[in-house]
Amino acid sequence: MQQRDREEFTEQEASEYLPPSTLGKLGKVLRPFLILSLIFHAFILLIPLSNREEPEPEKAVTEDRVTLTPIQRPKPSPSPSSSPTPTASPSVTPTPKAASTPQPKVPQSVPKRSPQPQPPPQSPSPQPPTPVVSPSPIELSPSPSPSPSLSPSPSPTSYEPVLPTSPFASANFPLYQGAQSGCFGSTNCNQVSGVQGFRNLSGNLQQHLEQNGYQVERRDDLEETGVAIFEVSKGGETQYLSVLDSGTLGTAIYVLVPTPIASLEELEKLENARLEITQFLDGIANSQAIADSSYFAQPGFFFLDSQPRSEIGASFRWVRGGQPPFTDTLVAQGFEVESSGSYGGGELYALKRDRAIIGYLNFVPTSNHLAPEAQGTIVVFWQSHPGS
């Protein structure tokens, strides 16, 4: 309380000791200084504002617009883009990166990056459509290169026929004049017309074979039953020639087989047995009939003059995979199966019924040049031994 009283006392005293005349003089003296200070400060403030207004952003924008105009001019430059067509793949990769970067840079600092660095990223922007269209067909063109895989098979005329060496093979055994082969479904059965009975034919055949180097010996004279049987030998091999009366006037039949035939009924049995073999081959799973030499690794053993050899009794059968099981089925049908070596690169089996040879089954692997889906085993049915 005492301090407040003192302060109030001093203020009152000051107002009492300073008369109002003196206060007015001080105000007149200080007013011009206040006005000058305000003017001075205002002038100082106006000086930096005038300097900042001089480099207005409009001039910078105008300069930037001038620099942006050359960016549009290099657009006709895609002409050199045609030259790098062979390297279209690398040119495509940088374009998306360069095109994405300049967009945010333009509004931020145009005056610094406006010169030459910007034209190259924007100039390749029209390039991507042109190279993408041109190289795409060029890359697709070599795609048909695997076409050679569609034709892996060798040409049918690229092989040389391998003639059998057996003197009793159809290609080597002399055919009697005027004889027609194929009777009773066998290539070894021949019918001759215009003869005076089977006796006359048997004598002519004996003479004909002896003239060709064969040894002919009559085994059993069954002329009364209409059959003449000869044992024929050459080169260490022996076959039997049976001459039979066909039952038709002026015609006779002769058959060359490993076992003698004593009647026409036996010929019919042989024919029926061969039909059973053919049906068996048709019933093998995944089997298909083929007549193309390209399936064989050694087609010369099976073809002569682009045609299957005459000893082949049925069409070739193609089977997927290896040698199919066949022994049990044929044995159940009354056949005897015996191994007879190999021929043409595959196993050979003799088929018999009632001690008479019906034919031979030959299982030959396909050529390695075939496509994987075409590889397998070829089943060949020979009516007589193919020879080697």
List all residues 6 or more positions away from 294 whose beta carbon is below 8 Å from its beta carbon: 153, 154, 155, 156, 367, 369, 370
Is the model more confident about 5 or about 236? Answer: 236
Is the model more confident about 252 or about 131? Answer: 252
Residue type at position 74: P
- What are the extents of the domains in the chain? 57-78+91-131, 179-262, 270-382
Residue 346 and residue 319: Cα distance in Å, rounded?
14
Question: What integer is the mean pLDDT of 100-107?
Answer: 45
Supply the pLDDT for residue 291.
66
Average model confidence (pLDDT) for the chain? Answer: 73
* Cβ atoms of residues 339 and 362 within 8 Å: no
* Cβ atoms of residues 290 and 317 within 8 Å: yes
For 108-120, write each residue's pLDDT tens digit: 444 444 444 454 5
Local confidence band at 272 (pLDDT 50, 70, 90 cut-offs): very high
For 2-28, write each residue's pLDDT tens digit: 445 555 555 555 555 556 666 667 777
Residue type at position 72: Q
List all residues 6 or more positions away from 330 whose beta carbon is below 8 Å from its beta carbon: 277, 280, 337, 351
Residue 285 and residue 224: Cα distance in Å, rounded?
49
Residue 144, Cβ neighbours under 10 Å: how many?
9
For 306-335, write each residue's pLDDT tens digit: 888 888 877 789 998 888 888 899 999 999
User: Which one-letter DSSP state was computed for residue 86?
Assistant: G
Supply the pLDDT for residue 259.
86
Residue 21 CA, chain-centre distance (Å), reads 122
Supply the pLDDT for residue 43.
81
Local confidence band at 40 (pLDDT 50, 70, 90 cut-offs): confident
Residue 260, Cβ neighbours under 10 Å: how many?
18
Supply the pLDDT for residue 226.
78
Residue 193 and residue 252: Cα distance in Å, rounded?
7
Residue 191 and residue 266: Cα distance in Å, rounded?
16
Residue 184 and residue 83: Cα distance in Å, rounded?
78
Residue 172 and residue 239: Cα distance in Å, rounded?
14
